[in-house]
Structure 1
């Protein structure tokens, strides 16, 4: 039976978990529904398009091109179709360490009037360098709003259960 090698285009299925065991990404429909709240009568966490539950099925990558987490791509080498592996990914190979210097506060008066910030809200802001940055609101007071530019998964060790579905 053929084994995957560097440079191969492959299809993989996976479940990505955070350190606490919660699912943060998956190609399996039932896991994807669990992740975003689809099908349980709850409000969806699918984003504006409400489409996360349909975004399932095998994920295509080219091994060695950095299409996915490098440790996962490395583990795919030598796998056969149908084989499964569990791969642990350190913060260095994912979203980096959490950096407290990426947290800052702005005066409430500097915040646009048409935005009612709440903890957990994601926003796009323009930095002093005119670059766009994604931030998360982490604290709101009458005087200030505290924002975090760290990726929401910064500092997390991730675990991926990966199945090689097909060598294309």
Structure 2
């Protein structure tokens, strides 16, 4: 195969160098490897990287709906303050981990503080935000059979840690 003809396509392992800007501020920068076409990154970015060649640089605007979604008005919860430790520092914007009724741990932010309760925002911190990526395709290769079978790099599912899977997915 002619190396210059290799472009981002489904089932390719992509090394992506990126800078993410939201509302004019850089919120993240780095490099990541992912399996194209398997929903390992936000859909709007994944779709817009298709066809890019190794070494190519592109500015990619991902609307909120194709990134972390719009703000879900149902993703808020009111929790009584007496459910927290006595010395818990209640501060607007403070992030904390909470477990839902199924035991799944989620990130929440305190968005309102009342006398006896707090309101938690369970939306992703970037929900409702357009994402501006400065993206460079730093590397491309064909995925291995194992990567294809798992649908991601590193094997297993996202709820697995290390080599064991407690959720029955692998």
Contact 2:44 2:63 in 1 (8 A): no
After superposition, where does 1:86-101 map in structure 2 within 5 Å? 86-101=59-74
Provide the residue aligned with 2:121 in structure 1. Answer: 148
1:51-130 maps to which residues of 2 (within 5 A)?
Answer: 58-130=31-103
1:167 to 122, 126, 140: 140
Q: CA deviation at 1:129?
A: 4.2
CA contact (8 A) 2:10 2:37 kept: yes
Equivalence for 1:25: 28
Structure 2: gaps of 5 or more residues: 142-170
Query: 2: distance between equivalents of 1:60 and 1:76?
Result: 13
Structure 1 gap ranges (5+):
28-57
Kindly provide the CA deviation profile for residues 138-164 of structure 1, in whole angstroms up to 9, marking residues without a partner as x. Answer: 122432222111111111111111111
Number of residue pairs the alignment of both structures matches: 137
What's the offset of the Cα at 1:60? Answer: 1.0
Return the match for 2:15 from 11, 14, 37: 11
CA contact (8 A) 2:13 2:35 kept: yes
- Which residue in the other structure is 1:132 paired with? 105
3-state SS in 2 of match to 1:101: coil
| Normalised TM-score (structure 2) | 0.70
* 1-structure distance, mates of 2:36, 2:100: 35
> Partners in 1 of 2:42 and 2:101 — Cα distance?
31
Q: CA separation in 2, counterparts of 1:164 and 1:79?
A: 7
Checking the alignment, whether the CA contact within 8 Å between 1:75 and 1:87 is kept in structure 2 is: yes
The secondary structure found in structure 1 opposite 2:74 is helix
RMSD: 2.0
Could you list the runs of 4 or more consecutive aligned residues of structure 1 that deviate by over 6 angstroms after TM superposition?
none
How many Å separate the matches in 1 of 2:46 and 2:103? 35
Q: Kindly tell me: are residues 12 and 127 of structure 1, through their superposed partners in 2, closer, same or farther at Cα, counting changes over 3 Å? A: closer
